[in-house]
């Protein structure tokens, strides 16, 4: 899984994609892979939130960075964070992708927001944590949306541009995410 570049309108790109391409995706270029966090992992997330004194969103972002590092490589992930009740407000952050197992969840969280990122560059990922999955047509090549499924489990939608990601890369991210979350919450 090579870290190549996807050009955007400004001529910059993303280091996390498998292939480069020009222009935004069409609806037919987008595909979703679904995964979930069971009741046990969701309870672990809630417990770690209280112990570490952070939000569930912080822990999920740190786990996302660890999953990207384990699947694609170490680096700095530029994330458009969807916020607010309607998830229409967007804040750009940077999340470290560190595969080093000796780095605890608390240490990863300490550097989870080092800066606002380059405003002229398209983000690598859109991330939202809320009630309902969304279906944006354009934007970063990968969107991760986490929503409640029932009373306790969490459902994850990994929406990606098939022109720039192999399906197996996204599948590997979905497999690494729960393992990364366990490492983050136990650290």
Number of domains in the chain: 1
Of 156, 154, 158, the C-alpha closest to 142 is 158
Q: What is the pLDDT of residue 162?
A: 95
Average pLDDT score over residue span 9-34: 80
Q: Is residue 115 part of a domain?
A: yes
Q: What is the pLDDT of residue 140?
A: 86
Q: Is residue 10 part of a domain?
A: no
How would residue 90 be classed by pLDDT, with cut points 50, 70 and 90? confident
Lowest mean pLDDT, pick from 51-55, 75-79, 165-169 = 51-55
As given in the structure block, the two tokens for residue 67 are 């999953």
What percent of the chain is predicted at pLDDT more than 70?
73
Q: What is the pLDDT of residue 167?
A: 96
Residue length of the chain: 187
Q: Is residue 68 part of a domain?
A: yes
Q: Is residue 137 part of a domain?
A: yes
Q: Is residue 1 part of a domain?
A: no
DSSP 8-state code for residue 4: B
> Domain residues for 115?
35-186
Q: What is the pLDDT of residue 116?
A: 56
Q: What is the pLDDT of residue 69?
A: 94
What are the pLDDT digits (tens) for 91-119?
888 888 988 766 666 666 665 554 555 55
CATH code where residue 106 lies: 3.30.559.30
Find the radius of gyration of the CA atoms of the chain: 15
Res. 30: pLDDT tops 50: yes
Q: Is 132 helix (H, G, I), strand (E, B) or coil?
A: coil
How would residue 73 be classed by pLDDT, with cut points 50, 70 and 90? very high
> Pairing state of beta strands 30-37 and 75-83?
unpaired
Res. 181: pLDDT tops 90: yes
Q: Is residue 138 part of a domain?
A: yes
Q: What is the pLDDT of residue 127?
A: 93
DSSP 8-state code for residue 15: T
Give the angle subtended at the CA of 118 by the CAs of 66 and 93, to the nearest 5°: 40
Q: Over the chain, what is the mean pLDDT?
A: 80
Give the angle subtended at the CA of 55 by the CAs of 53 and 60, to the nearest 5°: 120
Q: Is residue 5 part of a domain?
A: no
Res. 74: pLDDT tops 60: yes
What are the pLDDT digits (tens) for 124-152?
999 998 755 455 545 789 999 999 877 77
Of 154, 129, 132, the C-alpha closest to 144 is 129
Q: Is residue 15 part of a domain?
A: no
């Amino acid at each position: 899984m090579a870290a190549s570049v996807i050009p955007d309108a400004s001529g910059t790109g993303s280091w996390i994609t498998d292939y480069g391409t020009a222009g935004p995706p069409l609806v037919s270029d987008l595909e979703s892979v679904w995964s979930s966090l069971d009741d046990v992992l969701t309870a672990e997330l809630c417990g770690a939130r209280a112990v570490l004194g952070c939000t569930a969103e912080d822990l999920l972002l740190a786990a996302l960075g660890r999953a990207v590092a384990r699947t694609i490589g170490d680096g700095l992930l530029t994330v458009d964070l969807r916020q607010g009740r309607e998830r229409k407000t967007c804040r750009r952050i940077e999340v470290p992708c560190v595969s080093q197992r000796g780095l605890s969840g608390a240490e990863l969280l300490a550097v989870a927001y080092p800066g606002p990122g380059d405003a002229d560059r398209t983000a690598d990922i859109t991330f939202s944590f809320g009630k309902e999955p969304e279906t944006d047509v354009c934007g970063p090549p990968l969107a991760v949306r986490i929503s409640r499924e029932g009373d306790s489990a969490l459902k994850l939608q990994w929406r990606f541009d098939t022109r720039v990601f192999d399906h197996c890369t996204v599948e590997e991210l979905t497999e690494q995410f729960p393992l990364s979350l366990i490492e983050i919450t136990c650290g």
